[in-house]
Structure 1
Amino acid sequence: MCRQVRMASNNPTSSPSASMSNSMIGSPQSARTLSQPRANGNTVQPPPAPHDMLIAANTLTQFVTVLFTSAGVTAENSAIVASHLVDANLKGHDSHGVGMIPHYIRNLLAKSMSPNAEIKVLKDNGAILLIDGCAGFGQVVGAQATKLALERVKDTGIVCVGLRNAHHLGRIGSYGEQCGNAGYVSIHFVNEVGHAPQVSPWGGRGRRMSTNPFCCVVPRPGTTPIVLDMATSAMARGRVRMAHMKDEPVADGALVDSEGLPTTDARVMFEAPFGALSPFGQHKGYGLALMCELLGGALVGHWTAQTEGRPNNTIINNMLMFVIDPDAFGGRAAFDAEAAAMIEYLRSTSPAKGFDKVRVPGERGLESSAARSAAGVPIDDNSWAGILRAARHVGLSQEKVAQLTGSPKFA
């Protein structure tokens, strides 16, 4: 049995009940704020639009923590999820930031997730661990599984962890950073199930997969790790959702319409006749997405994206994670030196037209984090309205929200 921690009772007069339907979080007219989230994304968002509100990261984190505790989530889990979401915003991954709150509250009220669940170890063979996330908050069970892997790799040199049945894991790079900051290499294959597919296979027009993220992280002594964290679709679905909410076109090559023809109209993902996301790099992204399905989903003993007879009203991530100690192979000192030399070699080339310098994966996120930590986190009006509706439906009053955020806006 998966262990369920007692739910918090910070707001006993207004605890949510199962009778609260999805429609309470948003009407059909607000569907743009309610589309299912994606597990990942890798493109830094542009500067805030003139109409975006700016809110300090620590203020936003406190507000989100209170919002989740008001929904019955433990204080510890609320703080973990809030920090994860705000960190995604800081790093420029708004598609995986606080805009996820309406989806999480909807799934919590629908009982399609267990917000206070903890991981359960199903198999322990030393260097191989199989873990059930028990439909708990992905940010919580993902961090727990990664912590367990980091404890084990000290003895085994390499660890392979299968995490299955976790609610939305959020930004996969955060688990890679957890490994990289501890001095270890990590590789992550992730799939996403529990709702309709979103990505067409190369050569097809129908939706058959999700935007299955792939992540690889390399530690660097004395500085931040290299973080390759990407969707295997041409664009993360969360970014398409953001474009749809703002009535903006998406980049060429990201979407196909119902006929399989390229389009920049984000509506094809949310309004009939439906189109699909395209895999990045044509057959290459498609192949990597398939490996994420088979390794992240099937190998860990859970589902792939084929949906017949399976739930379609939630979002579940499965992940196959490798954590590697460089000393188990050529040695940490040699690895660090060669990696540093390679990065310097890459940086030594003159920048191409339109670029200021050569960057390594994850560097733009750090630049975004520094800028947004100073200026505030931008949140567009539609996203903020969805967050405020979620807050209201877990019992937070307009006055309490204004007190926590300093914002007079209330949907």
Structure 2
Amino acid sequence: MMRIAAAALHDLLVGLFRAGGSEAAEAEAVAAHLVEANLVGHDSHSAIRAPKYLAWVAAGELLPNRHATIAIDAGPLLVLDGGFGYGQVIGAEAMARAIERVRAHGLALIGIRNSGHLGRIGAWAETLAEAGLVSVHFVNTSGYGILVAPHGATERRLSANPIAAGAPGPDGPIVLDIATSATAEGKIQVARNKGEALPPGLVLDGAGRPITDPEAFYRDPPGALLPFGGHRGSGLSVFCEILAGSLTGGESSHAASPTAWRLVNNMLTLAVDPARLGDGHAFAADVARLTDWVRSARPATPGQRPLLPGEIERRTRAERLRDGIPLDPATVRQLAEAAAAHGVALPGELAETV
């Protein structure tokens, strides 16, 4: 395991995406989003994704330099089409629209369909929380990302289907960012790259048997992720399909979907201005009381108080900004191979390890 400075990793990714056909602003946006995911500890949605994005671009599955277009405009109700562009760009444009519509109407319901991979969904909840808004986000794919066995089944039918929520808090955004699957497929990639076993109870092999070997997930026939919490996660996942897929027009996960040959994310975002529901100061005071109340609980481990959603990310970010971002040898190799294929120079920290 090696560590690389965030700025050096950012510059490498910018170079890769520029070489992959992205204009400067897009390359910067995608790189910044992926590096931020590394910084906050969401390594499954970070720089590890860059080689795969570039492969999708080469295959015509992901289209550089696209922007969100309006498909439906009904005041606080808005549906945007991503045109199969980078989700980091489409998501940012959608959140900017959400803020505009909430300022005008007090709330907004924003649908995104036909977007490339939207990355770390918690980033979009953070964006709105930093603007003083409360939000919830539901995501699915339209068929390419079918990975999860419904509760009581042993074969894939659903996507990992993340849910995120955010609110302004006294110490910064309070952000929940979870998959409805027991783990994210990207975390299996991370474990595979590190040569580590998976915790039990997360994954099945192609025969429906529980496994801890990440390599077995990728064999033929492929394995399946389990939903978290049994029927609870499975039920939430079904509603991600309905809300993010069916309701936005992006379609639910299905192998026969016309966009199932490429990774397409759809997202439904509900955003609210708490000040429009009464006294904004009262809202902030009550959230502060809630955070104090939760933190005052007797800790299970002495000296380690309970954490609120988003706190571990802030702590990890500070540590990784100080000490560098950890990269396993397989991820380093994949980034080096992508750099060589695109004629991009490796930063010194990586070049010394290849």
Normalised by the length of structure 1, the TM-score is: 0.83
> Against the structure 1 CA distance between its residues 377 and 355, is the aligned structure 2 distance closer, same or farther, given a 3 Å change threshold?
same
Q: Larger deviation: 324-333 or 265-274?
A: 265-274
Tell me which moved more, 231-240 or 347-356. 347-356
Question: Would you say the 8 A contact 2:143–2:261 is kept in 1?
Answer: yes
2:18 paired with 1:74: no
Q: Is the 8 A contact 1:199 1:277 kept in 2?
A: yes
Distance across 1 between alignment mates of 2:252 and 2:101: 28
Matched, 1:57 2:57: no
Aligned to 1:214: 163
Is 1:376 matched with 2:324? yes
Q: Does 1:407 align with 2:348?
A: no
In 2, Cα distance between equivalents of 1:77 and 1:311 = 23
Whole-Å Cα distance in 1 between the matches of residues 21 and 259 of structure 2? 24
- Residue type of the alignment partner of 2:148: V
Question: Is the CA contact 1:183–1:220 (under 8 Å) kept in the aligned structure 2?
Answer: no
How many residue pairs get aligned? The number is 354
Native 8 Å contact 2:181 2:225 kept in 1: yes
TM-score normalised per structure 2: 0.96
- The one-letter amino acid of 1:248's match is E
Give secondary structure in 2 for the equivalent of 1:105: helix
Q: 1:354 to 1:236 in 2, by over 3 A?
A: farther
C-alpha offsets along residues 345-390 of structure 1, whole Å, 9 cap, x if unaligned?
Answer: 1111110037711100111011100000000001111011111111
Alignment of 1:132-151 (within 5 A): 132-151=81-100
Does the 8 Å contact 2:175/2:309 carry over to 1? yes
The separation in 1 between residues aligned to 2:221 and 2:100, in whole angstroms, is 49
Unaligned runs of 5+ in 2: none
2:140–2:240 CA contact under 8 A, matched in 1: yes
TM superposition shift of 1:408: 2.4
2:78 alignment partner in structure 1: 129
**Correspondent of 1:158 among 90, 107, 112:** 107
Aligned residue for 1:264?
Answer: 212
Secondary structure of 1:72 counterpart: coil
Tell me the equivalent position of 2:51: 102
Assess if the C-alpha contact under 8 Å between 1:212 and 1:231 holds in 2: yes
Deviation at 1:281, TM superposition (A): 0.5
2:336 counterpart letter in structure 1: L
Q: Please give the alpha-carbon distance, in whole angstroms, between the structure 2 residues aligned to 1:204 and 1:82.
A: 38
1:93 is matched with which residue? 42
CA distance change for structure 1 residues 241 and 406 in 2, over 3 Å: closer, same or farther? closer
Instruction: Report percent identity of matched pairs.
Output: 38
8 Å CA contact 1:190, 1:296 repeated in 2: yes
The aligned amino acid for 1:301 is G
Letter in 1 for 2:22: V
Distance 1:309 1:124 in 2: 25
CA distance in 1, matches of 2:112, 2:32: 21
Flag structure 1 segments of 5+ consecutive residues without an equivalent.
1-51
Residue in structure 2 matched with residue 310 of structure 1 by the alignment? 258
| Amino acid paired to 1:76 | A
* Correspondence for 1:24: none
